[in-house]
């Protein structure tokens, strides 16, 4: 005989499974729709945008690649990798100093760093443009690098500090007894122990930098410096846009981030759960 408790358990599991299935459809369908529309022609797309393509050819993907997506991809990879590495290691150093060392006014320093979370990029846009023009950095690779690093350090420091604060201090004491200095302890002991939150921080910074539009639009004007979000808009033409080519370019831009997330999702979830959840 089925008890009331077991029946409620079955209903609850069925509800959760249905909810997760519906959520998967909501997330996956737009991506699949984008990919498939990259194989269509303009007439197919406007005739029936939700139908399957009549034939699977890579012409639109080749066109998107040859119309600048290849150079935009290289620029995005260069900016994203450089900014992510700089942001994560600067933030890790800051988190190490705030959690493992006795420094004067540490609470004030922490408040100033986290105060950066409240600064909206759009508010500082005009002063930043004038400052970078005066420094001769406007429309350069360094402009994007400095902006991405500066605006991501507060949040990244917050994440890594939340993880480091629960690491036992006995580790530092043991390292000091063995003759390791602060720098050696940081590189050889603390950083390896923080691998999950470092991976989470890397992924979050990659997602931000890869998809960032405002700074890339305002602070760059040359084709060699434009990242993928800006470059994809160049595929739009006033005299007639080949939308399947645009969808193909969007698919090319999305593939690296999707692959990265699936390869590192175990560390990503673990790092956020162990860090922010503490």
pLDDT of residue 120: 80
Give the start-to-end residue ranges of the domains of the chain: 68-275
Options 1.10.3720.10, 1.10.460.10, 1.20.1050.10, 3.10.310.30; CATH for 68-275 is 1.10.3720.10
Give, in degrees to the nearest 5, the angle at Cα 149 between 198 and 268: 25
pLDDT of residue 91: 92
Summarize the confidence of residues 10-25 as an average pLDDT: 86
pLDDT digit string (tens) for 85-100? Answer: 999 999 999 888 888 7
Q: Under a CB-based contact definition with an 8 Å cutoff, are residues 198 and 156 in contact? A: no
Cα gap 19→225, rounded to integer Å: 43
pLDDT of residue 156: 92
pLDDT of residue 144: 92
| Percent of the chain residues past pLDDT 90, beyond the cut | 22
Q: Whats the size of the chain, residue-wise?
A: 278
pLDDT digit string (tens) for 120-174? Answer: 888 888 899 999 999 998 888 899 999 999 999 999 998 898 888 888 878 877 8
Residue 237 has pLDDT above 80, yes or no: no
Residue 240, both tokens: 């007639």
pLDDT of residue 239: 45
Residue 203 has pLDDT above 60, yes or no: yes
The DSSP output letter for 136 is T
pTM above 0.95, yes or no: no
The DSSP output letter for 225 is G
Q: Name the nearest CA neighbour of 38 among 69, 77, 72, 7.
A: 69
Q: Name the nearest CA neighbour of 60 among 94, 26, 35, 97.
A: 35
Positive or negative, the Cα torsion across 29, 34, 35, 36? Answer: positive
Cα gap 72→211, rounded to integer Å: 12
Residue 275 has pLDDT above 60, yes or no: no
Helix ranges restricted to H, the chain: 4-37, 42-47, 59-64, 70-100, 106-115, 125-135, 141-164, 170-177, 182-185, 191-193, 195-211, 214-218, 228-233, 243-275
Q: Under a CB-based contact definition with an 8 Å cutoff, are residues 109 and 98 in contact? A: yes
What pLDDT band is residue 1 in, cutting at 50, 70 and 90?
very low
């Amino acid at each position: 005989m089925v008890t009331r408790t077991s029946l409620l358990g079955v209903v609850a599991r069925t509800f959760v499974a249905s909810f997760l299935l519906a959520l998967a459809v909501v997330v996956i369908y737009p991506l699949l729709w984008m990919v498939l529309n990259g194989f269509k022609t303009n007439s197919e797309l406007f005739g029936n945008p939700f139908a399957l393509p009549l034939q699977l050819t890579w012409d639109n993907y080749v066109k998107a690649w040859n119309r600048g997506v290849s150079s935009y991809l290289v620029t995005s990879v260069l900016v994203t990798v450089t900014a992510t590495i700089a942001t994560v290691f600067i933030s890790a150093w800051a988190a190490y100093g705030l959690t493992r060392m006795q420094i004067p006014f540490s609470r004030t320093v922490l408040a100033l760093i986290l105060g950066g979370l409240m600064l909206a990029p759009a508010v500082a846009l005009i002063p930043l443009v004038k400052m970078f023009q005066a420094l001769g950095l406007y429309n350069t690779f360094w402009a994007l690098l400095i902006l991405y690093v500066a605006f991501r350090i507060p949040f990244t420091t917050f994440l890594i500090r939340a993880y480091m604060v629960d690491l036992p201090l006995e580790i530092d004491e043991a390292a000091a007894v063995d003759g390791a200095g602060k720098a050696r302890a940081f590189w050889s002991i603390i950083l390896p122990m923080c691998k999950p939150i470092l991976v989470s921080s890397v992924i979050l910074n990659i997602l931000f930098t890869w998809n960032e539009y405002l700074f890339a639009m305002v602070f760059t004007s040359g084709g060699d410096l434009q990242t993928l979000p800006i470059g994809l808009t160049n595929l739009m033409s006033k005299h007639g846009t080949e939308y399947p080519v645009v969808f193909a370019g969007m698919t090319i831009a999305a593939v690296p981030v999707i692959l990265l997330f699936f390869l590192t999702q175990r560390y990503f979830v673990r790092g956020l759960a162990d860090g922010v959840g503490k």
